[in-house]
Amino acid sequence: MKINNVNLEAVAVEPVGFPEKMLPEVAFVGRSNVGKSSLINALMGRKSLARVSGSPGKTRTINFYNIEELLYFVDLPGYGYAKAPKTEIKKWGIMIEGYLQKREQLKSIILLLDIRHPPSALDLQMYEWLAYYQFKIILVLTKMDKIKRSQVPKHVKIIRESLNLGSDSLLLPFSSETKQGRDELLSVIEDLIK
Ligand code: GTP
Ligand code: MG
């Protein structure tokens, strides 16, 4: 898939703000700071259309990027940002769950995990929740540039085991810095929306 035309088409905090066009959607889910917005930029070939930050809690709305009038990439706020005020955490939870549960055109979820660490309790909870609701889940392991190439298989194995994944589930190591994994993920997404 070649991506030339992208457009941040909607920024929403509730369903009334979601796009009305019936394009398939792929949503990016993961803890705060794991690299969702960076991944979306890397896929779109844009440096900073999606806002990125070194400190967690950057994305606070649901952002719909129209990709070539073919589909939307949906950037969500992250979970697990413990320093946010409790009322905000609750609000984001309701917003994310509302979107994930009610959106007809949501085709699949890209769940991001940091390749350096075993999944957290919240990651496991999110994975189980998504699996329970029978979402198609693609696991992307971010920040692979931060570990040695030779260590990648070991980290992949640890994550695979903690999620109890069969050998057929896809785990894609990725780096927004080096763009490793980008083409593979784009072709997976292309297959998903066929
Ligand atoms: P929230 O919007 O808070 O949920 O975070 P997010 O998941 O969108 O993370 P974001 O893309 O804002 O990235 C968080 C930090 O991680 C930024 O400083 C990024 O530059 C950095 N980062 C993201 N992906 C990578 C990566 O693949 N490699 C490296 N080295 N840094 C990354
Ligand atoms: Mg973000």
50-54, 85-89, 185-189, range with greatest mean pLDDT:
185-189
Rounded to the nearest whole angstrom, what is the distance from the C-alpha of residue 166 to the centroid of ligand 1?
28
Q: Atom of ligand 1 at shortest distance to CA of 75?
A: 8
When the pLDDT of each residue in the chain is averaged and rounded to a whole number, the result is 94
For the ranges 38-52, 82-96, 106-120, the lowest mean pLDDT is seen at 82-96
- Whether residue 33 has its Cβ less than 6 Å from ligand 1: yes
% the chain with pLDDT above 70? 100
Tell me the C-alpha distance between 98 and 3, whole Å.
Answer: 29
Tell me the C-alpha distance between 115 and 175, whole Å.
Answer: 10
The superfamily (CATH) of domain 6-15+22-192 is: P-loop containing nucleotide triphosphate hydrolases (3.40.50.300)
- Whether residue 57 has its Cβ less than 6 Å from ligand 1: yes
Tell me the C-alpha distance between 154 and 134, whole Å.
Answer: 28
Relative to beta strand 25-30, strand 62-67 is unpaired
Q: Is residue 23 over pLDDT 80?
A: yes
Relative to beta strand 6-12, strand 62-67 is antiparallel
Q: Is residue 86 over pLDDT 90?
A: no
* Reported pTM: 0.96
Tell me the C-alpha distance between 169 and 172, whole Å.
Answer: 10
